[in-house]
Amino acid sequence: MARAVSMRIDSEVKPMLTERRNTKMVLKLKSLLVVAMVSIGFFFGNIALAETVERGRYLTKIAGCNDCHTQGYLLSDGKVPETSWLAGDNFGWRGPWGTTYGSNLRLFIAGMTEKRWVAAARALKRRPTMPWFNLNVMKDEDLKGIYHFVRSLGPAGAPAPAYVPPDQEPKTPYALFPTPQK
Ligand code: HEC
């Protein structure tokens, strides 16, 4: 009797147990594979994002954004720590249009999605001295670079001084532009 039971276990139950173990192994391997693929995805995603941020850092320097949007940048030969970049400037640009100030781009971009920023930059039109026409024609990947660089800095500082109409004297230092000759 005992022998018969043991034979049954050998012939029917053991293969079932082995099969269950195999299924478990396959499941484990599958989940390991998924984890590996997700990690690889994150790894390359992070490299891609780091490259985008680096592109933005470079463009911010060479396209002049810092010159007008970073306090003290232009007159210190660019010697302003990156943590203070693009937080706006209280040096005015005065001309027939009134007096304008380089806005705080850290705050401007803070609440925006990448898509909204790209659309806003494409359609942007402002008073002098903002070269908005240059921003309008920037390639998508350049605009995205600037976006992710500014986002990597995070929001900081206060809004730049408000626009002053032409007939009012600004309370800040400013550069005076002559009325353009027609
Ligand atoms: C020569 C100076 C100058 C340069 C260079 C410059 N800006 Fe500006 N920017 C300004 C001024 C001044 C204003 C505010 C204009 C106004 O009040 O109408 C402005 C406004 C803006 C605004 C609108 C912000 C808002 O709050 O409405 C954006 C966005 C902007 N600039 C982005 C950039 C970027 C990005 C770069 C670099 C590619 C750049 N600017 C280069 C002077 C400049």
pLDDT digits (tens, 9 = 90+) for 14-52: 777 778 888 888 889 999 999 999 999 888 888 889 999
Total of domains in the chain: 1
Is 127 near ligand 1, meaning CB less than 6 Å away? yes
pLDDT per residue as tens digits for the range 106-128: 999 998 999 999 999 999 999 99
Instruction: Give the pLDDT of residue 14.
Output: 72
For residue 105, pLDDT over 60 is answered with yes
For residue 99, pLDDT over 90 is answered with yes
Ligand 1 midpoint to CA 155 (Å) = 17
User: In whole angstroms, how far apart are CA 65 and each of 22, 102, 103, 138, 150?
Assistant: 61, 9, 10, 13, 11
Give me the mean pLDDT over the 79-98 stretch. Answer: 98
Measured CA angle at 173 (ends 73, 88), to 5 deg: 40
The model carries a pTM of 0.83
Of 55, 69, 138, best ligand 1 pocket probe by most atoms within 8 Å of the beta carbon? 69
Ligand 1 midpoint to CA 63 (Å) = 11
Ligand 1 midpoint to CA 48 (Å) = 27
Task: List the domain range (segments joined by +) for residue 88.
Answer: 1-182
**φ, ψ at 175 (rounded to 5°):** -105, 135
Nearest protein Cα to ligand 1, atom 31: 130
